Amino acid sequence: MTATEQQLETAEPTNIVIFGATGDLTRRKLMPALLRMLCCGLVHADSRIIGVVHDSNEAEWLQLLKDGFDEFSPQLNVDEASWLKFSSHLKMVSGDLGDEATYQRVADSLETLGGKKNAMFYCAIPPEWYGKVAQGLHRVGMVNEDNGYRRLVIEKPFGSNLETASRLDKELQSVINEKQIYRIDHYLGKESVQNLLVYRFANSIMEPLWNRNYIDHIQISASETIGIEYRAKYYENSGALRDMIQSHLMQIMTLVAMEPPVEFTADAVRDEKMKVLRAVRLFEPEQVENQTVSAQYASGTVGDETAPAYVSEENVSPDSATETFAAVKFYIDNWRWQGVPFILWTGKRMKARVSEVMIRFRKPPFNLFDSHASLPAANALVFRLQPDGGVVIRMNAKKPGLTTDNEEMVMRAPYANDIEHVADAYEILMHDVLIGDSTLFSRGDEVEECWSILEPVLKAWKDRFSIERYRAGTWDIAAMDELTEDCVGGWHKPTIYE
Ligand code: BG6
């Protein structure tokens, strides 16, 4: 079966168990995704959704979910009839995650559906509970796959450094098989991120150019306009490096840099990604300063709104030195990429919300049109990931007129007008869990390798007392110009298309 056919496959009937069923993730993302998946048959109609809840009764829980649709997904227009249909799949199990009896109640609530007791356990809970939930399920025989599959879904952060990440892996793998663990990185579920593999491996014009002979450097970025919203407690201990670079952006880097896998299967793809990570040059402590940038937003104006400084956000310490902007310049020491900088950067409260991969080619070897023209700009190929997914090629063309002067011509090919609603990342990823395809999920060794690469940076940034500031709503980070000084074209700030 091809991967495409697999993606359209309806999964077997399943007990979808959600730990943390009153939480934000459940209401904002999981329930809307499940509702759409049930409507279009991606979740089998005989499936059950079991919410594990400790602080409400069933009526309150159902009301909370119903209100959640109105609040977070008004575009779904969940009317009374569709709510009744959806809620007929819902069932609540009450219990605290710390109470062993809860897991027995969960076990008792699983139904035999279509002859099997398949179960997907989704941990929409703080990461410190992942190990305990896996152990609780193990104790009551719920990770045993004799009578149907048992899959555990967890979300980043997977640890906060190498030590805690490997401790978590050991804790999980002592009771559950790695193949049963699905580590969600929601960026890998984005249409446009998956499309990177198709652009690379379904087109023959890319491969000859895709190496150090033609590429000067690559910038992979995710700039956001939002601040830290209600997540100060998490963000204060995380910062932009852990929050975005260790996970989403390093995952994208592996997709951009990897060799073609021998087949499009989970382990073949992840083995190639892993080879990239193993080739990333490790920093010496004294190199951290020259190869990274960190900064924090000061107050400013984002769009039409005034934004407070990070340190004035609720629950943020007034002398916090947590970075809300981070950049790292990596080198990948292998035949394809030797000497090509990969600059990964991300920031909150920036001028625009754009994620992209920018491939900057080398300059033309010399300027043939020297006597009349300005020096041609180096070409760029930009994969726009969001919000307006597509490809942009920047090439030089002759300016109309009597001279050979040239100007940059921007060719834009949108991939879909409203990329984020083509298919929501959570729908794609939950469906993959249900059909047992882990290609788009991070494997334990990848996660640990990313932490290990970042270890020197985390150590260097740990004890700092002060940090550079940038005005919210701007790209005013001078250190980025220094970081990209030796890169053709310098720091590439995303173009804002009207
Ligand atoms: C999350 C981070 O993983 O990704 C958030 O924790 C960030 O801080 C979010 O805002 C960005 O996701 P997206 O899909 O909006 O680009």
Residue 55 covered by a domain = yes
* Percentage with pLDDT > 90 across the chain: 83
Same domain, 327 and 450: yes
Domain CATH code at residue 55: 3.40.50.720
Helices (H), 140-281: 162-173, 191-201, 232-240, 250-257, 266-279
Q: Check pocket membership of 424 for ligand 1, CB cut-off 6 A.
A: no
Same domain, 198 and 151: no
Q: Give me the residues of the chain with pLDDT under 70, please.
A: 1-9, 370-374, 416-423, 498
Residue 473 covered by a domain = yes
Same domain, 123 and 192: no
Give exposure, 173-194, as e/b (b: 16+ Cβ within 10 Å): eebbeeebbbbbbbbbbbbbbb
**Which pLDDT does position 249 carry in this prediction?**
98
The residue among 155, 171, 197 that closes a domain is 155
Same domain, 233 and 104: no
Q: What percentage of the chain's residues is helix, strand, coil (to nearest 5)?
A: 40, 20, 40
**Which pLDDT does position 2 carry in this prediction?**
36
Same domain, 194 and 143: no
Same domain, 241 and 335: yes
Same domain, 364 and 469: yes
Same domain, 127 and 263: no
CB 264 within 8 A of CB 3: yes
Which residues, 6 or more positions from 474, have their beta carbon under 8 angstroms from its beta carbon? 300, 350, 351
Residue 166 covered by a domain = no
pTM comes to: 0.93
How far does the centroid of ligand 1 lie from the alpha carbon of residue 203, in Å? 30
**Which pLDDT does position 417 carry in this prediction?**
60
Closest ligand 1 atom to residue 248 Cα is 3
Residue 136 covered by a domain = yes
Residue 430 covered by a domain = no
Same domain, 394 and 350: yes
Closest ligand 1 atom to residue 355 Cα is 16
**Which pLDDT does position 220 carry in this prediction?**
98
Residue 176 covered by a domain = no
How far does the centroid of ligand 1 lie from the alpha carbon of residue 292, in Å? 21
Using the structure block, give the residue that is written with the tokens 């990596």. 330
The SS3 call for residue 234 is helix
Same domain, 244 and 341: yes
For every residue of 316-369, DSSP letters joined together read --TT----SEEEEEEEB-STTTTT-EEEEEEESS-S--EEEEEEEEPPPSS-TT
How far does the centroid of ligand 1 lie from the alpha carbon of residue 49, in Å? 26
Same domain, 209 and 299: yes
Count of structural domains, the chain? 2
Residue 247 covered by a domain = yes
Q: Nearest residue CA, atom 5 of ligand 1? A: 243
Same domain, 151 and 200: no
Residue 438 covered by a domain = no
**Which pLDDT does position 414 carry in this prediction?**
84
Question: What's the order of all strands across the beta sheet hosting 48-53?
Answer: 90-94, 48-53, 15-19, 119-123, 150-155, 181-184
Domain CATH code at residue 362: 3.30.360.10
Surface-to-core class of residue 278, CB atoms within 10 Å of its CB (0-12 exposed, 13-18 middle, 19+ buried): middle
Instruction: Give bridge partners of residue 52 from the DSSP assignment.
Output: 19, 93
Residue of 234, 244, 384 best suited for mutating to test ligand 1, as the one with most atoms within 8 Å of CB: 244
Q: Check pocket membership of 224 for ligand 1, CB cut-off 6 A.
A: yes
The residue among 134, 155, 176 that closes a domain is 155
How far does the centroid of ligand 1 lie from the alpha carbon of residue 108, in Å? 36
Query: Domain residues for 99?
Result: 3-155
**Which pLDDT does position 372 carry in this prediction?**
58
Taken in order 333, 189, 302, 495, is the CA torsion positive or negative? positive
